[in-house]
Amino acid sequence: MIFFKDNAPPVEDYDKTRSMLLELGWLQKIFNVEMNRSVYDITSLGYQYYFAICMKTGYTEMFAGPTLQEGLTSARINADIDLVEEGYIIDGIDSAKLTPLGAEYLYVLTDSHGQDIEVKKSKATDKNKSDKNKSGKSNMSKVLGGVQTFMKGMHEMSKMAQKYDKSSTESTKNVWTATRKKGKKSSYSRKSTSVSKGKKRPRKKYRKR
């Protein structure tokens, strides 16, 4: 007798059950190189529980899981595994019966096998990205503000330099003009002094012809 996936047992919280199977070691997360993605995979311990429950309850397979080899009546499982005590099966008069917990675990186990692992984005990650974007924009604004301030400062310095050059030119021009005037005045004064202090020139006497 076979259990198909369509005859799935009721599962109250699928993700919670799968997390429990990961903790128990029935499932594991692997990266499938051929498919180039991360998937869930049944572990060796998970297969031990699956086949042991199938044989104890008289089924060759459950929930479209792997099929028992023909003639296989026992499975090598750890000595400390007790399916009845752990609550996966109960002993009946004619055979063992599967419990709701055992059905839920086996269904999620076989259904999860090969499924892609979804990476959920946490709110903290989104917040960090948002803060990073805001920080980047803030830094860019600061850089632009610094460049504008620098350019404004350079413009003011240029205006001051032009003003200084103009003032310097005017000062040089005034000094040069004053120097020329002073030179001329001094030369004229010396000439006048020379003329006033000089002796009278004797007049030439001309002979009568």
pLDDT per position as a tens digit, 129-169: 656 666 555 666 665 666 666 666 666 666 665 665 555 55
Per the structure, the complete domain to which residue 43 belongs is given by: 5-112
**Residue 186 located in a structural domain:** no
Give domain status of residue 54, yes or no. yes
Provide the mean pLDDT of the chain.
74
Whole-angstrom CA distances from 87 to 16, 26, 126 are: 18, 16, 42
Q: Kindly state whether residue 140 falls inside one of the protein's structural domains.
A: no
Residue 149 lies in a domain: no
169 within some domain: no
Q: What's the rounded Cα separation, in Å, for the pair 44 and 26?
A: 7
Under 8 Å between Cβ of 75 and 52: yes
Domain count, the chain: 1
d(CA 99, CA 105): 10
Mean of the pLDDT values across residues 68-93? 80
- Is pLDDT of 118 > 70? yes
In this prediction, residue 89 has a pLDDT band, given cuts at 50, 70 and 90, of: very high
Burial of 9 (0-12, 13-18, 19+ CB in 10 A): middle
H/E run at residue 37? strand 37-42
| Domain-located, residue 60 | yes
Question: Which of the two residues, 178 and 89, has the higher pLDDT score?
Answer: 89
> Do the strands 37-42 and 27-32 form a parallel or antiparallel pair, or are they unpaired?
antiparallel
Residue 133 lies in a domain: no
Segment holding 41, helix H or strand E: strand 37-42
Of 80 and 11, the structure prediction assigns the larger pLDDT to: 11
Task: Please give the share of the chain, as a percent, with pLDDT higher than 70.
Answer: 51
At residue 93, the pLDDT reads: 81
Structural domain includes residue 155: no
Q: Say if residues 107 and 63 touch (Cβ distance below 8 Å).
A: yes
How many angstroms separate the CA atoms of 136 and 127, rounded? 14
